Chains A and B, each alone.
Chain A
Amino acid sequence: MSIARILHLEALIFLYGLAGTVAYQMLTGRINVSGLLAQKKKVKRGRPNTSPERVQLLLATLAAASNYLGQVARAPAGTLPDISYQWLYLMGGSSGIYALGKAWNTLKHKKSR
């Protein structure tokens, strides 16, 4: 077995091992994901409120990630596909909504004090 092959296997094991470990720990709760979709401190009858801007960012992120993985799987071997402008606009808009929502809530809190 050549050194290149060994290095390839090492990188493969490390990369997929790390991704699998992180995914496993998130699913089993060892990596804390509580409050991922919740508004900060906002409590309605004992339950945290779900934040719409966080939900839409999560959906856009998962959609863009799965779409790109699909493009990579369909692309000719050895080429890294580009991301279309539509998806970039989507992610830019989604992230912008998230950041604006966060800024708005923070500004509103500062005013109310």
Chain B
Amino acid sequence: MAQIYGVLFSAFLGLLGLTILWLIWTRRINLTDLLNEANGQASMSRFQLLVFTFVIAISLFGVTEAKKDFPDIPSGILTLLGISASTYAVGKGISYSAPEVMMGTGPSGDGDDSDEEADDAATHADDAKAHADAAKQAAQQAQEALNAQRAVAQQAADSAAQAKQAAEQAKVTKS
């Protein structure tokens, strides 16, 4: 009887594990936001907790396999996981104490606002300078075009005057 229960239990666990892995691979269990905070950016404290969890789990599995018994967990490991989990909890508490910072809907709360304003001003100044250069170049081209038009008009006027003079001379000669 115990053998039957053992087989059933191991079959259940095996199917459960394979199903979870298969659902993750087919994205029906979506891990995209595994490290994300509410603002869509990855969280360092979540990443840290994930790394330590896998490291301790894999180590514990290896030791249990070698010892054929569940080993005592050293206090240092518990402290390390406690530090990691506390960092995650504290970080979450800080983030949710100011949702506008976390969601990025307010002014930046990370570092010097004056630096950021200076950067913005420098960016705007660069843009303005580029626009001014383009406008200056366009004005020069327009001036050159205007000069060319004036030259053509002058030539036309000179030609007309010469033609008029020639016509008058011809008229005098005829008379």
Contacts and interface: CB of A to CB of B under 8 A. Distances in A.
A84 B79 CA distance: 11
A27 interface: no
A95 B62 CA distance: 28
B21 A18 contact: yes
Interface residues of A, number: 73
B41 A34 contact: yes
A19 B41 CA distance: 22
A72 B63 contact: yes
A interface, over-half SS: helix
Interface of A: 3, 6-8, 10-19, 21-22, 25-26, 30-46, 49, 51, 54, 57-58, 61-62, 64-65, 68-69, 72, 75, 77-85, 87-88, 91-92, 95, 98-99, 102-103, 105-106, 108-110, 112-113
Contacts of A85: 76
Contact of A109 (B57, B59, B107): B107
B32 A32 contact: yes
Nearest to B53: A19
B58 A19 contact: yes
Contacts of B72: 80
Interface of B: 3, 6-7, 10, 13-14, 17-18, 20-21, 24-25, 27, 31-36, 39-45, 47-48, 50-52, 54-55, 57-63, 65-67, 69, 71-77, 79-80, 83-84, 86-87, 90-91, 94-95, 97-98, 100-102, 104, 106-111, 113, 115-116, 119, 122-123
B98 A31 contact: no
Contacts of B111: 39, 42, 49, 105, 108
A33 B39 contact: no
A34 to B, nearest CB: 6
A77 B17 contact: no
Given A36-B47, A40-B108, A95-B86, A88 B80 contact: yes
Nearest to A67: B55
Contact of A42 (B43, B48, B76, B116): B116
Contact of A32 (B33, B83, B86): B33
A98 B44 contact: yes
Given A45-B119, A83-B77, A105 B101 contact: yes
Contacts of A72: 59, 62-63
A92 B67 contact: no
